């Protein structure tokens, strides 16, 4: 066993470190002789034990400290003297105080464990894993929460199979805290309930809006993109004030898919008098094309000088590497290298790729963006 491994073992064990401290004091006490008064220093044992171990470890270290104090007092011919009694009183006092500190710490740790278990259960409910392949598309997902206590935040994504292909959503709830998680849960529940049942994508859109009105406090809005991809590669998407997705064609060219007239964020339909403008993007994808969706936790990530992460410049070369999941891993690594710091905002990434079809029509156009008024109902 190397010296480093031994040190790591001592520091990780709740009993080894305080015992090593007490024995180290005993070694110094034996080496310095009776002229030094180290008897009260043995109280360091139970004090150190309170930082990691339970109450019984603290009491055990207190007993060890008392025995060593008595032993060295007898060895130095100080047994029964005032110094010995003062040292024993100090050890007893520190042991009692350390036992209370350890009891309080253990209670707090148990509460934190309960909170983490609840958070993980909630995460499993909200963020069920998206299959890597759904119908005609391959999918990669990635989520990072800015919270250190839990991986749940206000960003969300999901994708489900539907009779007309695949329907997906990516969204970002305004604000932070539990109310944000509640809002995200309402959006996801409405999407999952409606996306596989309703024929019209616009009806799914309205169902999400209604869920926000009924299940939240009405003080939050949600930017997002609701989309549908047919088996032939036809994509229709509503953009509710969300950052535009980045399209990487199979020939390597890239372009942002901008909306000419985006609809307001979910939760703000009252600003337009309830009338939906139906600004819809329609793309015709070919096999191998990839579409990258993200939240502003990516586009607003900053480096040390305050510069925003340039999505188009840095993400575009990474989108074609490996499968969708591997491409997102490289993007995460690039963002970390750019910022040089932990994330300060939630971030959700969703990358889809149109898989090759047995009868892929190579004659169809590469990309079409039609005005909303020319579109049939989605």
Q: Range with the lowest mean pLDDT among 3-12, 28-37, 139-148, 279-288?
A: 3-12
Q: Are residues 91 and 151 in the same domain?
A: no
**Per-residue pLDDT at 307 exceeds 80:** yes
Task: Show Cβ contacts of residue 340 under 8 Å, excluding neighbours closer than 6 positions.
Answer: 303, 304
Q: Are 167 and 222 in contact (CB under 8 A)?
A: no
Please state whether beta strands 222-229 and 347-354 pair in parallel, antiparallel, or not at all (unpaired): unpaired
Q: Tell me which of 199 and 57 has the higher pLDDT.
A: 57
Do 98 and 163 share a domain, yes or no? no
Which residues have C-beta within 8 Å of that of residue 306, sequence separation ≥ 6?
none
The answer to whether residue 126 sits within a structural domain is no
Is the per-residue pLDDT at 144 higher than 50?
A: yes
Q: Is 145 part of any domain?
A: yes
> 152: pLDDT confidence band, cut at 50, 70 and 90?
low
For the chain, percent of residues with pLDDT exceeding 90: 28
State phi, psi for 220 to the nearest 5 degrees: -125, 150
Q: How many residues does the chain have?
A: 378
pLDDT band at 363, cuts 50/70/90? very low
Contacting residues for 83 by C-beta, under 8 A, at least 6 apart: 37, 39, 73
9-13, 70-74, 84-88, 291-295 — most confident range: 291-295
pLDDT tens digits, residue range 343-355? 878 889 999 999 8
Task: Please check whether residue 127 lies inside any domain of the structure.
Answer: no
Residue 363 lies in a domain: yes
**How high is the pLDDT of residue 356?**
73
Q: What domain count does the chain have? A: 2
| Residue 112 neighbours by CB distance under 10 Å | 11
User: Distance between CA atoms of 297 and 295, rounded to whole angstroms?
Assistant: 5
197 and 142 belong to one structural domain: yes
Residue 199 has pLDDT above 90, yes or no: no
- Residue of 27 and 139 predicted with greater confidence: 139
- Which residues neighbour 259 within 8 Å (Cβ) at sequence distance 6 or greater? 239, 244, 279, 281
Q: Which of 372, 298, 316, 306 lies closest to 143, judged by CA?
A: 298
- Pair 313, 183 in one domain: yes
Residue 358: the pLDDT is 55
What's the whole-number average pLDDT of the chain?
81
Same domain (yes/no): 196, 227: yes
In a domain, 350, yes or no: yes
Residue 290: predicted pLDDT: 95
The pTM is what?
0.68
pLDDT for the residue 149: 52
Q: What domain range is 150 assigned to? A: 132-374
């Amino acid at each position: 066993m190397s010296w480093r491994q031994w040190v790591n073992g001592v520091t990780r064990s709740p009993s080894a470190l305080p015992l090593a401290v007490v024995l180290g004091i005993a070694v110094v006490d034996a080496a310095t002789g009776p002229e030094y008064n180290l008897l009260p220093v043995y109280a360091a044992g139970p004090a150190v034990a309170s930082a990691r171990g339970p109450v019984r470890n603290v009491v055990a270290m207190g007993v060890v400290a008392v025995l060593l104090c008595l032993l060295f007092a007898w060895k130095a011919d100080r047994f029964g003297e005032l110094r010995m009694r003062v040292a024993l009183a100090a050890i007893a006092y520190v042991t009692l105080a350390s036992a209370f500190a350890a009891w309080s710490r253990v209670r707090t740790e148990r509460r934190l464990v309960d909170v983490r278990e609840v958070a993980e259960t909630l995460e499993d409910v909200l963020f069920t894993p998206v299959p890597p392949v759904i119908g005609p598309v391959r999918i990669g997902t990635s989520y990072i929460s800015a919270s250190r206590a839990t991986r749940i935040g206000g960003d969300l994504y999901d994708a489900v199979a539907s009779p007309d292909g695949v329907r997906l959503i990516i969204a970002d709830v305004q604000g932070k805290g539990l109310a944000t998680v509640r809002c995200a849960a309402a959006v996801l529940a409405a999407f999952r309930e409606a996306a596989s049942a309703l024929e019209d994508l616009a009806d799914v859109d309205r169902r999400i809006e209604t869920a926000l009105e009924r299940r939240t406090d009405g003080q939050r809005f949600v930017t997002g993109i609701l989309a549908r991809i047919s088996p032939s590669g036809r994509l229709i998407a509503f953009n509710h004030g969300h950052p535009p997705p980045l399209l990487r064609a199979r020939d390597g060219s890239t372009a942002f898919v901008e909306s000419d007239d985006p609809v307001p964020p979910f939760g703000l339909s009252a600003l337009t008098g309830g009338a939906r403008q139906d600004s819809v993007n329609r793309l015709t994808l070919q096999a191998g094309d990839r579409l990258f969706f993200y939240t502003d936790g990516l586009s607003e990530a900053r480096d040390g000088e305050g510069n925003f992460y340039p999505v188009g410049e840095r993400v575009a070369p990474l989108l074609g590497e490996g499968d969708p999941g591997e491409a997102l891993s490289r993007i995460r690594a690039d963002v970390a290298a750019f910022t040089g710091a932990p994330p300060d905002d939630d971030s959700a990434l969703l990358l889809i790729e149109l898989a090759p079809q047995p009868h892929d029509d190579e004659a169809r156009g590469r990309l079409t963006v039609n005005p909303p008024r020319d579109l049939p109902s989605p």
